[in-house]
Chains A and B, each alone.
Chain A
Amino acid sequence: MVAVQILGVMLLFLFIGVPIGFALWFAGLFAVLVFRLSSLTQVAQSLYSTLDNFVLLAIPFFILAGNIIVRGNVATPLFQLIQSSTRRLPAGAAIGTSLGCAAFGAMTGSSVAAAAALARTTTQELKRLGYDAGFISGMLAAGGTLAILIPPSVSLVIYGSLAKISVGSLFIAAVIPGILMAAALTTTTWIVATRRYGVENRLEPASREELMRQALMALPAIGIPVIILGGIFSGLFSPTEAAAVASLYAGALVCFVFRNVGLRDLSEVFIDSAKSTATILFIVSGAIFIGHVCTLAGLPNDVIALLEAYDLSWWEFLMLVNVMLLVLGFFLDGFTLTTVVTPLMLPSVLAAGVDPFHFAIVLVVNIEIAAITPPIGLNLFVISSVSDVPVGDVARGVLPFLVVLVVMLILFTFVPEISLFTLK
């Protein structure tokens, strides 16, 4: 009951618009002062100890690498190569864009960066080919969410550090679900585009020479996911080191190969990345503390008692959690969902017999859905502002993709082997 009151105070602060990091710390302080669940000394120690974690250092480096990639247009040649390769297919330009979202996701780990960068580079060209703005922006908003699931994913790094499980193994677990999700969204793009614009909607195929030239140009960009994923999967780097190497590599590319980012730009990128990191990790620190306080208040035991009272199986419990996450996702953004839900729910999830790696994938797909559902869906607003399309049109365009995301969520929920297969 105490835990419910603490959560109630937290939700009240969140919904009246208190910045999320502050809202979590306020609720934690409330629990300490009113219920005496911990001491003020513990609060002071938590301000430091919640962030004193080497794994969390991967987050600023992944954000930095993503920002350098976007600032230096590093991904553009790879994107052009994918587009050229799919030209001969019906609705090839749209399919190429959808696959480009997956490739971008494998480089940046940031859904907003992926969506914004692709919207800037593709919207005009797709409009010229006759696709309507609602469809384009819906496809980009949904495609951008692939970055949340496909490794390297910042959400997975946060989850791993909060759940105290290997981030490298989380990345491995996300590979098959990421590929399936990319395939599902690309197939949806193909079905919707060919139905609306006809199967004859093809472009002149690119010549072999053109493809070879573009492949050569794209090689430096391909190096980024190869370094990150290859380094982690081969055991050469830890995720934090892989993120640092990716930042150094991306920095070297824009400074010495493409030569399109100067020192002043680079210093701006460092400051922006540090501020973005601070925004996320301040929330993480508050979430760890509120999770600790709620554990002291007996939240996991309350949930276990509930499970026993209603005799819920693991999948019934997980479906219940999905419904809760979908509702919360209407109002909370992805980072908040990860940081708030992980420490609060994980003990109960484990008690219900759900594998933490399986839950990670389910949680991350919920975050993908949250990124494209109004009123908070961040990708809708980013695409709307970058492409100059009303948010309502973006939301309508995203609907078919939203249905697919929900179907995939149900699939990943009921078939844990999809997430756990690569770990075996």
Chain B
Amino acid sequence: MFELLATAFRRIDEFVTGAALCAALYILGQEMVARWVFNYSFTWTEDLSRVLLVVLVYFGASAVASEDRHIRVGFLLESMPAKVSRYLRLIIDLACLGFCVIAVWLGARLVHDTAAIGLSFAHSGFALPVWVAQSCIPISFAIASVRIAARILSGSRRIESQTVASEEG
């Protein structure tokens, strides 16, 4: 069940992050054509493309975190005995999961506070409330939490089965 959810979230992460990049490229392309060809500039382009960048980064980071592909200094982990390395990786994964949960809480607080103030991008003619843009933080970190938890569970099952196999062997 948990792993099914994680697979569904993987598709969401990849779709959102890829679509955000595509949309940002389209918006910037449209802005440049409007400026050069029609001597006209859209006031909301920069705000929207910045929102798309934040969405791209957090959903992309969620995808990368759950695939365990974030850049790390791995030489110490690789030079340790396999068993110690496996347990240290598990602790690191749990710590990352902890950070994601904290980020969900902090992001939700940020969204709540911004909504209470009623901030929006209206100054640039882009009538999106700022809290809608900020909500990508709690949502993406919530997805990352589920996916990292699924990875930890499957990893710990692997460690368990390896331990049983080595004890039986």
Contacts and interface: CB of A to CB of B under 8 A. Distances in A.
A51 B54 contact: yes
B106 A18 contact: no
Interface size range on B against A = 35 or more
Given A41-B113, A244-B32, A331-B73, A51 B53 contact: yes
B21 A21 contact: no
Interface stretch (A101-109, A162-170, A209-217, A275-283): A275-283
Nearest to B85: A17
B17 A64 contact: no
A278 B61 contact: yes
Contact of A271 (B14, B28, B49, B113): B14
B50 A15 contact: no
B96 interface: yes
B100 to A, nearest CB: 9
A325 to B, nearest CB: 15
A15 B99 CA distance: 18
Q: Chain A interface mostly helix, strand, loop or mixed?
A: helix
Contacts of A40: 106, 109
A192 B97 CA distance: 50
Given A47-B110, A60-B24, A241-B32, A16 B88 contact: yes
A363 interface: no
A237 B59 CA distance: 29
Interface in B30-73: 32, 46, 49-50, 53-54, 56-61, 63-65, 69-73
Contacts of B46: 54
A122 B21 CA distance: 32
Interface in A70-113: none
A333 B71 contact: yes
Interface in A247-292: 247-248, 267, 270-271, 273-275, 277-279, 281-283, 285
14 contacts: A14-B73, A20-B70, A25-B99, A29-B99, A40-B109, A48-B54, A52-B54, A53-B50, A57-B28, A60-B21, A237-B32, A245-B32, A248-B29, A333-B71
Interface of A: 14-22, 25-26, 29, 40-41, 43-45, 47-48, 51-54, 56-57, 60-61, 64, 237, 240-241, 244-245, 247-248, 267, 270-271, 273-275, 277-279, 281-283, 285, 331-333, 335-336, 375-376
